[in-house]
Structure 1
Amino acid sequence: MPVTPPVNGQIIGQAHYATRAVLERLLATTGTTFHQSVALNAVADSGEAIERGRLVDGMTGTLKIDAEVAEATVAELSAAGLLEEVPGSTVRVALTPAGRDRRQANSAGIANITARLYAGLPAEDLAATGRVLTEVTARANAVLAGA
């Protein structure tokens, strides 16, 4: 049985990059970038529409990217007909029917990949890993915030 290495930034990074490469390969089949997929998910998860500024802030906070990159991503999705502005007093965006279809296609592919990657791993191990990584993320965010 192979020796399990201790959890550290290198092990977490290797898992991140390996799974992200798998994800990006899948997303490429639908013409979606990683940043675009995050934006589509955020809009879908918000309900019918989300304030554009809140979407950009969420992307910068989650992805650790500049606001300009997040704005460009939202603009790309709008230009591709996947997002549209919703009339109102604040600038809000919503998925178009094509945007919903794209997100659904991506989500179905991701569900298949996730099932393959996590198959056979004990639920208690996955739960512990989730707790640990959530705490590490919170601590890293606090460091970034200067706390």
Structure 2
Amino acid sequence: MTTGPILDPRVLGRAETAHRALLDAVLGEAGASHQQWIALNISTLSPNELDRDRLVARLAIATKVDRHLAGAVVGELLAAGLLAIVPGGGCPVRATAEGLDFQRRVRGVFDEAITRLYLGIPSEDLTVTSRTLAEMTARIDAELLERPPARRAGWPAAPM
């Protein structure tokens, strides 16, 4: 049996920071922010149509930011022509052809790099890691739901 670092917040943080830095580099080359990327993905991957308010709410939850900031991000995508509000029943927000093309190009560049970087890591290791990370994310999200929003936004508000 091989030994290595034990999975802990430091190891997770370093891995997430490295992946995020790579994605941010790709997004920066394309002229977009991480939050814009997440909003575009939510709009295209949701099984149901989302109006602007629902897209903003989902973005706020996904990126752990307040709704005001999430709303500004959605506004940026609308102004850039990557998202559009479709008139009619419920006024859903959808990715435009430009938004879908942008998403495809960024994903292609990022996926090529990740595929190359993950090459040689046994699939069993990736499967176990994926399962563990999914479970930890679910637990942390549940913990965050139990905490008052003000404590997350401006912590520490008072000595603990």
Match status 1:65 vs 2:70: no
Match status 1:126 vs 2:121: no
- Could you tell me which amino acid in structure 1 is paired with residue 35 of structure 2? H
SS at match of 1:90: coil
How far, CA to CA, are the matches of 1:106 and 1:49 in structure 2? Answer: 23
Matching residue of 1:137:
137
Q: Which runs of 5+ in 1 are unaligned?
A: none
Tell me how many residue pairs correspond in the alignment: 146
Q: CA deviation at 1:3?
A: 5.7
- Could you tell me which amino acid in structure 2 is paired with residue 141 of structure 1? D
Matching residue of 1:114:
114
How far, CA to CA, are the matches of 2:104 and 2:70 in structure 1? Answer: 21
- Could you tell me which amino acid in structure 1 is paired with residue 113 of structure 2? I
- Could you tell me which amino acid in structure 2 is paired with residue 90 of structure 1? G
Q: Which runs of 5+ in 2 are unaligned?
A: 148-160
Matching residue of 1:30:
30
How far, CA to CA, are the matches of 2:141 and 2:129 in structure 1? Answer: 18
Where relative contact order (Cα < 8 A, 6+ residues apart) is larger, the structure is: 1
How far, CA to CA, are the matches of 2:62 and 2:113 in structure 1? Answer: 22
Matches within 5 A, 1:23-102: 23-46=23-46, 49-102=49-102
SS at match of 1:29: helix
TM-score (normalised: structure 2): 0.84
How far, CA to CA, are the matches of 1:65 and 1:91 in structure 2? Answer: 24
Across the aligned residues of Structure 1 and Structure 2, the Cα RMSD in angstroms comes to 1.8
SS at match of 1:41: helix
Cα deviation, 1:2-34, whole Å, max 9, x if unaligned, reads 962111001100111111111111111111111
Cα gap change, 1:136 to 1:67, in 2 (>3 Å): same
TM-score (normalised: structure 1): 0.91
Please say if residues 48 and 94 of structure 1, whose CA atoms lie closer than 8 Å, have aligned partners that are also in contact.
Answer: no
